[in-house]
Amino acid sequence: MVDYEAWWLILIPILFGLGWIAARVDVRQMMSETRQLPDSYFKGLNFLLNEDHDKAIDAFVEVAKLDTETIELHFALGSLFRRRGEIERAIRVHQSLLSRADLPKNDRDHAQHELAQDFFKAGMFDRAEEAYKAVLDSSYAVPANRALIRIYEAEHDWPKAIEAVRHLHTILDEPIPQLIHYHCELVQQSMQSKQPDVNYINEELKKAEQALLKQQGELRSNAAAVRIAILRSKLMKIQGDSLAERKYLEGIMANAPEYAGLVAADLLANYKTGQQAEAGLDLLKQHYLNHPSLDLFKIVFSELRAQQGAAPAWHFASESLRLHPSLLGLDKLLEVELKAAADGEKPNASDRVLPDVELSLLHKMIHKHTQRLDRYSCSSCGFEARVFYWQCPGCNMWETYQPKKLEEM
């Protein structure tokens, strides 16, 4: 027992001494490597920390010239170039890395992915597509798939976008809400052709509905459901089934009343086709009283004036604007009145609600201030448009437009 303790008393100092020697060697090696780094490297880091990107780039370029083996520094340079919009220089950096035969696979995939991002930011979608496809079997598969989806969306290549989503599902089990809209876009394209393929449209709508059913709880898209119902109503109209068309449109009014302004004109036209114009107007008028909106206001006022004359229409308008004051609403009202005058309509003296006011001058004054209010706005990027979009033309995000004009927001 005594010998055992003595042995440990000897061993402990030896181990301590070996550790001290190893630490000294590591410190000397670190100091040696630090001395070998050019001063430009530290200058570049300093400039980068101070967010002086121009001087940082110049310093790092100098280091890269002195030591071509600094792979990570090349990646940093390429990223800086791309961030500053110097895409050509970023492309050259990443292509020079890919030209190296000794580049490890992980670094090669990294360089390929960076090059794809360069092409994408430059708007060279064809070259970006090929570059992203080259890393689909690497650790960059998920971001590459997402980027390909963005490319196909920008190009409106919906079949490829659907295929990219399917491929992404094999890697990552997460919902892709815009898949519903891809099928809806294919339906819309077919409907706009001279001879819509009814069978094809029906199949694509079924696929959109199946994608919607897979969404659960809060992920369930009300906007997507509305769009499918709108397209279903249009398909019924193509097939000459006015009752089925009305059923879908009234379903939207009941289940998603905020979207009434998008379908009110079609619903009113459906009622007119069935010789039920008064019933259609009553339905829209009642819906407006419960769920007022500027789009619906214009349709109701215009139809009320056409069916019953100026006095009832202006009475409805004055009551509506009293409850929901709106310059844009007044602008729409005057627009309808001026159109009636331009069409040659001459109301009786008793129907002239504003006999002493020059309607044209009043409309010009108001319209000048309401032009910027008569728009839909993207909640993601703020892009404003006169028509409603399911996909924002500015940022390409889906379902970012509310069915309300700016004045109502």
Instruction: Please report, as a single letter, which amino acid is at residue 328.
Output: L
Say if residues 350 and 311 touch (Cβ distance below 8 Å): yes
C-alpha 180/C-alpha 162 separation (Å) is: 9
- Alpha-carbon distance of 290 to 287, in angstroms, equals 5
Chain-centroid distance of CA 323 in Å reads 35
CB hemisphere CA count around 178 (13 angstroms): 21
Residues across the chain = 409
- Residues in Cβ contact with 223 at an 8 Å cutoff, skipping those fewer than 6 apart: 390, 399
395 annotated binding-site participant: yes
- Tell me the C-alpha distance between 251 and 255, whole Å: 6
Q: Which of 108, 86, 106 is nearest to 95 (CA)?
A: 108
The single residue listed with the structure tokens 């059923």 is 247
Please state, in angstroms and rounded to a whole number, the distance separating the CA atoms of residues 77 and 58: 10
Is 392 annotated as ligand-binding?
Answer: yes
184 is in an annotated binding site: no
DSSP SS3 for 108: helix
- CA atoms of 33 and 38, how far apart (whole Å): 10
Q: Is 381 annotated as a binding-site member?
A: yes
**124: helix, coil or strand?**
coil
Q: Among candidates 104, 139, 144, which has minimal Cα distance to 128? A: 144
Q: Which residues are annotated as a binding site?
A: 378, 381, 392, 395
| Binding site per annotation, positions for Fe cation | 378, 381, 392, 395
